[in-house]
Amino acid sequence: MIERILKKNEQNVAVAPKEPLYKSDVEQLEIMVEYTETHRRFSDDQKLEREIACLNVLFPKVFRPMYNGDRIVGRYDALPIGFGSVTSVGAPGHYCRFDQMAKLRSRMEKKYHSTIDDLIAYWKLHDTREIFYRDNLLENVMGPFVDVRYPVIITARFSGMYLDYNKLLDYGIDGLIGLIESKKSENPSSMIEYESMIQALQLLQKVIDHHIAEVKNTLSESLSDDRRCQLVTLLDALKEIRNDKPSSFLSAMQLAWLYSSMAGVVNYGRMDDYLGDYLVSDLNSGRLSEAEAMDLIESQWRLIEVKRTNVNGRVIVGGKGRRNEKNADVFCKLAIEVTKRAQMVEPQFTLRFYEGMDPQIMEKAMDSISTGITYPILYNDDVNIDAVMKTMNVDYTTACNYVPFGCGEFVLAGKGVGTPNVCINLLKSLTILVHDGVDQWDYQYKLGPLNVKKMSEISAFEEFLELYKQQLAYYIESGGQAHAQSYKVMNEQIGFIFTSILTDDCINRGKMVLDGGVFHLGGTNEMYGNINAADSLYAIKKLVFEDKVLTMSQLQDILAHDFDGHENLRRKMTDLPKFGNDDDEVDQLAVWLHEFTCSHVAKQAEKVGLDSWLVVVINNQVNTEWGRATASSPDGRIAGMYMSNANNPQSGADINGPTAMLNSLAKIRADINAGTVQNIKFSKRMFDQERKKIQALFKTYFKKGGPQLMVNIVSQADLIDAYHNPQNHRDLIVRVGGFSARYVNLDKDVQKEIMERTCND
């Protein structure tokens, strides 16, 4: 046995540190005690009343004062205990971040410790994820998110909700209250639901009042003329949206932002669709110049960035199905300019494009990408809309509202749930199977109750594939049940009232989002290690069954010893053809694996009561983190080494140039899953000098069915230098997988994985 040491993983993907909280530790503790006491007063049967009462403890207290230069308001801090939706800001539902509580405890004087301990003890029983984990983990098979020792990890979270901002802005707060009131008679049994919605909107008004007071206060200080003017406009906007629907770009943006903050939503929808009309009206009337509009957008970007969700913060522009395409495109172009100018890691600025789009938009997008900012990320409507119609079984108009959230999972904006609550490591699974169920990482048996033939007894590659299918089917089916269970647990605890108000069809049905309110109750399953698994399958096929260089038992032995004393064989494995070189024999195994997993995952939806359950191959940096606890694999990858990112070739394995790489990628079907991410890296020199040819390269790939592309323009020399001398490269931004980050903030092995990706120069 080899002694393995696992580098500790944080609870979440955390790359850039957040700003310290504004409130002092003592103030935080007071709020958290009050929150906890409030929570304690209610039973689960009173979840909606409880949610409103708890939210009233937090808001508006958790908003920090505006910063000088802010053009819109709404900076809020997530405390270690509170209410949220996603793991990147607070946590889902009523939550306690035990890691942060431990830190708080160590910072605070002893006299506070027993209070903190009481809180921790209470939340050990009531934190949403704790409740979920209590009954849903499977020993050695299914662990909590992100415990990389398991082949399957699960969680209860509510990621990726996109609100129906058009509804918010069309109605305004009073309008929404009126709408909800009017439904009471239609659904008399939903009085509690409707009351909670109205109370939530009243709380939003309270928050607006808080900000009105703050702006008024600031105006009483001595200010520059410019700043005074900005604040007067802001005050008018806040006063307007307190009751009425917005009439200007600023007030519309402000209302949407405050609403998102209170809902705990961290992806901001098709912004050009819901802000375009306001923008154009202001530009036409002379109320705003383009330069002023860009400043406002940049202020919005800053508020998004400061949340440091790392993997969220999506803003979507472009694409089919916007209400007023012409006006939306005006916003779209200015937003690209701002993204290019501001050079921020968030928002994850996303462009949906299609044949027939205003060509200036793609030109501007390429200009922005050429600066190295990695944005916009490109999504191909001509492929993705059809895919969504098929996988989610919805009509064209509905599918036009698909949006990628977080790392790139598709969801229907304003009318769908698609949170990824299950992840499966396909490579770890394969290494477990190769060793007859025993993970060579920690020597635990991880096939559960499966009765699988021994490796020494199989005589054909097809038999191996059959066993692999059995194993994955078991993992997928267990994951499917856990996923459905996560919704049940959350629904017992939480209404997600703010989210429900702006999610179809909650108001009409008088039901909360997870209680039968949402139009499309979907979910996604993140697959990891796909390409290493495919390369490994090829290695087994070739070395064991075709060329008979090895027996399965010898392969087990070599891998169990991390290739020690078998460097030649490792070299042979590494030198075998790999995915990403347009080599059909190996590419087809990746295709097979993708199709099997997608189809088996999709089949579970009906069994567990979801409208869809779909594979996503959208790795963030968990491909590296999970690689750390994945044993040596037949593709020549040594234990602990990173795995390939999403469907991309293992870093550096694509040696036939970008056409070959993209051809390999295009073989993987995009119409059976809910999102994949593809990275391509060019040197600045190449991208600038050969822009036309590179655009032709992308265009061809998209015509071949490529769903998405993330382009990183970076100099290889810079990456190497930044790896060794981080202090000189603080602003270098790279695309990791489903998110972008400042390179020097990444873990060293993540940096290495990115550095070793093929750079087209």
CA distance 529 to 13: 17
The smaller minimum CB distance to other proteins, of residues 109 and 575, is found at: 575
What order do you get walking across the sheet with 420-425 strand by strand?
142-144, 152-154, 420-425, 524-528, 614-616
Per-residue burial over 241-259, b if 16 or more Cβ lie within 10 Å, else e, is: bbeebbbbbbbbbbbbbbb
Establish if 706 lies at the interface with other proteins (CB under 8 A): no
> Given the rule CB under 8 A, which of 205-213, 299-307, 564-572, 598-606 is the region that contacts other proteins?
564-572
Q: Phi and psi of 275, rounded to 5°? A: -110, -15
Dig out the tokens for 594 from the structure.
Answer: 């993708």
> Given the rule CB under 8 A, which of 165-173, 311-319, 516-524, 659-667 is the region that contacts other proteins?
659-667
For residues 156 and 132, the answer to whether their CB atoms sit within 8 Å is: yes
Establish if 363 lies at the interface with other proteins (CB under 8 A): no
437: nearest Cα among 422, 453, 421, 423? 453
> Given the rule CB under 8 A, which of 216-224, 597-605, 641-649, 658-666 is the region that contacts other proteins?
658-666
Contact characters 241-270, other proteins, x per CB under 8 A:
------------------------------
Q: How far, CA to CA in Å, does 346 sit from each of 124, 223, 265, 266, 304?
A: 33, 30, 15, 11, 6
H/E run at residue 351: strand 348-353
Question: Residues for the chain: how many in total?
Answer: 761
The smaller minimum CB distance to other proteins, of residues 323 and 693, is found at: 693
The smaller minimum CB distance to other proteins, of residues 24 and 568, is found at: 568
Establish if 704 lies at the interface with other proteins (CB under 8 A): yes
Q: Is 42 helix (H, G, I), strand (E, B) or coil?
A: coil
CB of 758 to other proteins, least distance (A): 11
Q: Which of 65, 188, 609, 657 binds other proteins (CB under 8 A)?
A: 657
CA distance 643 to 531: 8
Q: Phi and psi of 710, rounded to 5°? A: -120, 120
Helix, strand, coil percentages in the chain from 3-state DSSP, rounded to 5: 55, 10, 35
Q: Show the DSSP H helices in 5-108 as ranges.
A: 25-40, 47-58, 98-107
CB of 573 to other proteins, least distance (A): 12
Q: Which of 663, 679, 712, 740 binds other proteins (CB under 8 A)?
A: 663
For residues 631 and 431, the answer to whether their CB atoms sit within 8 Å is: yes
Establish if 355 lies at the interface with other proteins (CB under 8 A): no
The smaller minimum CB distance to other proteins, of residues 218 and 700, is found at: 700
CB of 258 to other proteins, least distance (A): 46
For residues 759 and 687, the answer to whether their CB atoms sit within 8 Å is: no
Identity of the residue numbered 62: V
The dihedral region occupied by 418, where left means phi > 0, alpha psi between -120 and 50, and beta the remainder, is: alpha
The smaller minimum CB distance to other proteins, of residues 449 and 565, is found at: 565
Establish if 360 lies at the interface with other proteins (CB under 8 A): no
Establish if 567 lies at the interface with other proteins (CB under 8 A): yes
Q: Which of 591, 660, 683, 723 binds other proteins (CB under 8 A)?
A: 660
The smaller minimum CB distance to other proteins, of residues 343 and 689, is found at: 689
For residues 500 and 506, the answer to whether their CB atoms sit within 8 Å is: yes
The smaller minimum CB distance to other proteins, of residues 185 and 568, is found at: 568
The smaller minimum CB distance to other proteins, of residues 71 and 667, is found at: 667
The distance from CA 399 to its chain's CA centroid, rounded to whole angstroms, is: 20
> Given the rule CB under 8 A, which of 335-343, 522-530, 568-576, 675-683 is the region that contacts other proteins?
568-576
For residues 105 and 113, the answer to whether their CB atoms sit within 8 Å is: yes
Q: How many residues bind other proteins (CB under 8 A)?
A: 22
Q: Which of 41, 206, 703, 730 binds other proteins (CB under 8 A)?
A: 703
CA distance 396 to 545: 46
Establish if 69 lies at the interface with other proteins (CB under 8 A): no
The smaller minimum CB distance to other proteins, of residues 218 and 760, is found at: 760
The smaller minimum CB distance to other proteins, of residues 193 and 654, is found at: 654
Q: Which of 45, 568, 724, 727 binds other proteins (CB under 8 A)?
A: 568
CB of 654 to other proteins, least distance (A): 11
Residue 445 DSSP label: B
The smaller minimum CB distance to other proteins, of residues 281 and 656, is found at: 656
The smaller minimum CB distance to other proteins, of residues 390 and 703, is found at: 703
Establish if 638 lies at the interface with other proteins (CB under 8 A): no
The smaller minimum CB distance to other proteins, of residues 281 and 574, is found at: 574
CB of 718 to other proteins, least distance (A): 19
Establish if 658 lies at the interface with other proteins (CB under 8 A): yes
CB of 690 to other proteins, least distance (A): 5
Q: Strands, E, within 385-536: which ranges? A: 402-405, 409-412, 416-417, 420-425, 520-521, 524-528
Q: Which of 700, 715, 716, 745 binds other proteins (CB under 8 A)?
A: 700
Q: Is 378 helix (H, G, I), strand (E, B) or coil?
A: strand
Contact characters 575-614, other proteins, x per CB under 8 A:
x------x--------------------------------
Do you find a cis peptide bond into 60, omega within 30 degrees of 0? yes
Do you find a cis peptide bond into 505, omega within 30 degrees of 0? yes
Q: How far, CA to CA in Å, does 115 sit from each of 94, 101, 568?
A: 18, 11, 60
CB of 707 to other proteins, least distance (A): 17
Q: Which of 134, 571, 607, 730 binds other proteins (CB under 8 A)?
A: 571
**Residues of span 670-699 touching other proteins by CB under 8 A:** 689-690, 692-693, 696-697, 699
Helices 461-493 and 128-136, packing angle to 10 deg: 140
The smaller minimum CB distance to other proteins, of residues 93 and 658, is found at: 658
CB of 746 to other proteins, least distance (A): 28
Establish if 645 lies at the interface with other proteins (CB under 8 A): no
CA distance 180 to 183: 5
273: nearest Cα among 313, 336, 324? 324
Establish if 749 lies at the interface with other proteins (CB under 8 A): no
The site for other proteins (CB under 8 A) is made up of: 567-568, 571, 575, 582, 656-660, 663, 689-690, 692-693, 696-697, 699-700, 703-704, 760
